[in-house]
Amino acid sequence: MNTRNTRSTPHLLALSGSLRKDSWNRQLAAAAASFARAGGAEVTEIDLRDFPLPLFDEDIEAAGVPESAGRLKQLFASADGFLIASPEYNGSITAALKNLIDWVSRPDGQFARAEVFLGRRAALFATSPGGLGGMRGLNHLRDILQPLGTWIAPTMLAVPSSMTAFADGRLVDATATAQLRTLVEDTLRAIETESRGATNVA
């Protein structure tokens, strides 16, 4: 059962794969959310700390899907798209983000496998203190989400030199700010295009 928003206003989920309270990637996700709202979208920002999950284990799943996983599925199902800031850990994505995807993509009595990812539009971005800005992790995240049926914005944004790109909890680098705004706007246009196509088919 797909419970996506059927109104004209797109609904996005914004999240960071980091659990750290003062994470630069959290700040990057917040900046993306603000651009989406400026573009007319409704945005729900989620903090992974509010959805504690055990490591995915089919024995745990068989005993009962964790309440947090159920709430996350509902949130993902209601969204037209995702704004995901993905920190790079050892050249890949965080364990917390991968575990979330593993739980949320699972079939249950309400959703088929990967149903809450199918047909969604996603903007992927990252920041790190290094010169690559987290791009290696973004490549891995794209390779996970695309087979689940999620459209990924062709341009993924990696913001290097986090220590100078952010100040007082905000993205201040002018180039990165402009690039992030464009990425979010491109994602909103993709949602609008998909929505028009679905309406025409109907």
Confidence at residue 197, expressed as pLDDT on a 0 to 100 scale: 64
Does residue 6 lie within any of the structural domains?
no
Region 133-154: mean pLDDT is: 97
Structural domain harbouring 37:
11-201
Does residue 53 lie within any of the structural domains?
yes
Confidence at residue 200, expressed as pLDDT on a 0 to 100 scale: 44
Region 167-196: mean pLDDT is: 95
Confidence at 129, pLDDT banded by 50, 70, 90: very high
Does residue 1 lie within any of the structural domains?
no
If one counts the domains in the chain, the total is 1
Distances in Å between the alpha carbon of 197 and those of 32, 140, 176, 191, 194? Answer: 25, 29, 32, 10, 5
Confidence at residue 199, expressed as pLDDT on a 0 to 100 scale: 44
Does residue 70 lie within any of the structural domains?
yes
Q: What is the pLDDT of residues 24-45, one digit of tens each?
A: 999 999 999 999 999 999 999 9
Confidence at residue 54, expressed as pLDDT on a 0 to 100 scale: 98
Confidence at residue 8, expressed as pLDDT on a 0 to 100 scale: 78
Helix (H, G, I), strand (E, B) or coil at 123: strand
Does residue 3 lie within any of the structural domains?
no
State the DSSP string of 53-70: -PPP-HHHHHH---HHHH
Does residue 34 lie within any of the structural domains?
yes
Confidence at residue 2, expressed as pLDDT on a 0 to 100 scale: 55
Does residue 2 lie within any of the structural domains?
no
Does residue 127 lie within any of the structural domains?
yes
**Contact by Cβ (8 Å): 20, 26:** yes
Region 152-173: mean pLDDT is: 97
CATH assignment of the domain containing 38: 3.40.50.360
Q: What is the pLDDT of residues 42-93, one digit of tens each?
A: 999 999 999 999 999 999 999 999 999 999 999 999 999 999 999 999 999 9
